[in-house]
Amino acid sequence: MRHAVTVDGDDKTLDVRAMDADCIIHWKLEQAPTKPADMEQPQPGESAHAVRQFFVKQVEKNGSCMILAWEGDVVVGQMHFTTREIHKTLGGPENYEAGSCYCVDHEGFGPKLSEFNDEGIEHLLESESRVLRILCFNVGHTDPRWHGKGIAKAMVEYLKQWAREREWRRIEARSCPDIIPTSIVGDWMLRRGTYERLGFHVKQEHKVTPEESENRLWEIERLSAPNPDYPPWVKYYVTQLPRLLIDPDWKTEYDKNYLMACDLQ
């Protein structure tokens, strides 16, 4: 799948496709662009080896576990996904404070994998539900030139096509209200409106903790104040804020998260 972007005034065409055995990425994309050879280098410790082997097994069993955005021979974006059963067992970024979490940055990820034998992992990957779960995104990471280019949305669109061809029944993803700035939720969640425009609907609604709710409201109010020194992503958010504030219900939404679903059959 081709996706056109403009970066620093230059027109570029990204190739969005599923990760395969030719390039297994098994840690966070720290900067973009990144060469596959850099990511293929072995990392120290048994946990890193366990994570890599787990990613290899997912590719062997299900065809992939990540959508990548390539610019030539370098990677500028990645999106992790897995089966609903793996997510339920290992958790995802929303469970980052737990003892284990399906996140390459989580210290409990590798050790948790060692609790399962090959048969146990394969059973979870077979997925009786035939439902995939989007876990997180990483586009450009600390390089803002790649942000706001529709790359994450392109990866979701490609996953829909990829999953439908392989007879998956549904894709699920955690989301947050449009009003929530990235500085609160990080870069692993897309907003509800984005998912709805991609064909998803709200399956479940969840209240965040009172502490999280307070932090979100404080951050929204902070970013509402004029500041010419905002970084690029904040400027984009601030330009959207007046539109969001027109909605009288926004104050009832900032303390929620959503489980979004896209039915494929």
Domains identified in the chain and CATH numbers: 2-263 (3.40.630.30)
Tokens representing 167?
């007879």
Q: What is the pLDDT of residue 41?
A: 60
b/e burial code for range 73-82 (CB count within 10 A of at least 16 → b):
eebbbbbbbb
- For the cut 80, the answer to whether the pLDDT of residue 212 exceeds it is yes
76-93 mean pLDDT: 92
145-170 mean pLDDT: 94
pLDDT in tens, 218-242: 888 887 777 767 766 676 677 777 7
* Summary mean pLDDT of the chain: 85
Task: Please report, rounded to a whole number, the percentage of residues in the chain having pLDDT higher than 70.
Answer: 87
Task: Please report, rounded to a whole number, the percentage of residues in the chain having pLDDT higher than 90.
Answer: 42
Tell which phi-psi region holds residue 84, choosing left (phi > 0), alpha (psi between -120 and 50) or beta.
alpha
Higher per-residue pLDDT: 57 or 147: 57
- For the cut 70, the answer to whether the pLDDT of residue 42 exceeds it is no
Q: What is the pLDDT of residue 31?
A: 61
Round the CA-based radius of gyration of the chain to a whole number and report it: 19
pLDDT band at 50 (very low <50, low <70, confident <90, very high): confident
Q: At what angle do helices 210-224 and 232-245 cross, to 10 degrees?
A: 100
Q: At what angle do helices 46-62 and 118-126 cross, to 10 degrees?
A: 40
116-125 mean pLDDT: 91
Measured distance CA(12)–CA(188) in Å, rounded: 24
101-130 mean pLDDT: 88
